[in-house]
Amino acid sequence: MSGGVDVKVFAEAAERGDGFPSLIEPVSRLESLPIPTLALCHGVCLTAAFEIALACDLIWAGESARFGLVEKVVGLTPGAGGTQRLAARAGVGRASELVMSGETYDAATLREWGVVNRVVPDAELEREGMAFARELAAGPTLAHAATKRILRAFREGGVGAADEITPGEFSGLFASEDLRGAVRSFLEDGPGKATFRGR
């Protein structure tokens, strides 16, 4: 639960008149991690907190969660890339509405828009979300990293750009210990019993 940036820091920057440091870099670094990232959101998730969630691969929300990019109330537009990341998930029209209206939206609406992946009961969010995070962490992290690179190529250049890199990403995994071990495990023990080490 977070309302985002403390508005007092904006007041100080406005008084100085020298702008504000870029918030894009830390969000981009989060987005570029080679491992799956999952945001678990409950309560209010506004401004920079929502922008951080949007940089994650997956967003789960408690039923009572509310989301918004409400920077307009202080005469700003989102500064950490929330506008474009929201547009990538929900489309330009929905991103325009959410940012320009300054309203907050419930988790069910953002699930319908494709922004939130899952909505779970508030009391179960942490337990279910952390169980899923452990499952992701124990999975084929090299394959997950390849998936992230393919999706990044898609976001930046469409299906054609993703198609260009997919053969190399796919074929490159055959050199990994993880793939060789998982194929062997599948043939000897059946599906779903492999262990992965990220090598």
- pLDDT tens digit string along 68-97? 999 998 888 898 999 999 999 999 999 999
CB 24 within 8 Å of CB 80: yes
Topology agreement, domain 7-137 and domain 140-189? no
Enumerate the active-site residues.
51, 71
Q: How far is CA 68 from CA 128, 154, 199, in A?
A: 24, 26, 39
Q: CATH number of the domain at 140-189, out of 1.10.12, 1.10.287, 1.10.150, 1.10.1060?
A: 1.10.12
State which amino acid sits at residue 146.
Answer: A
For the stretch 9-63, pLDDT in tens is: 555 655 666 666 778 899 999 999 999 999 999 999 999 999 999 999 999 999 9
Class of domain 7-137: alpha beta
CB 80 within 8 Å of CB 23: yes
For the entire predicted model, the pTM comes to 0.89
Which residue intervals of the chain are DSSP H helices?
7-16, 24-32, 47-54, 82-90, 92-101, 107-112, 125-138, 141-172, 177-189
Grade residue 171 by pLDDT with cuts at 50, 70 and 90: very high
Give the residue extent of every domain in the chain.
Answer: 7-137, 140-189
Mean pLDDT of the chain: 91
Residue 22 has a pLDDT of 73
**Beta-carbon neighbour count of residue 141 at 10 Å?**
18
Q: How far apart are CA 169 and CA 149, in angstroms?
A: 8
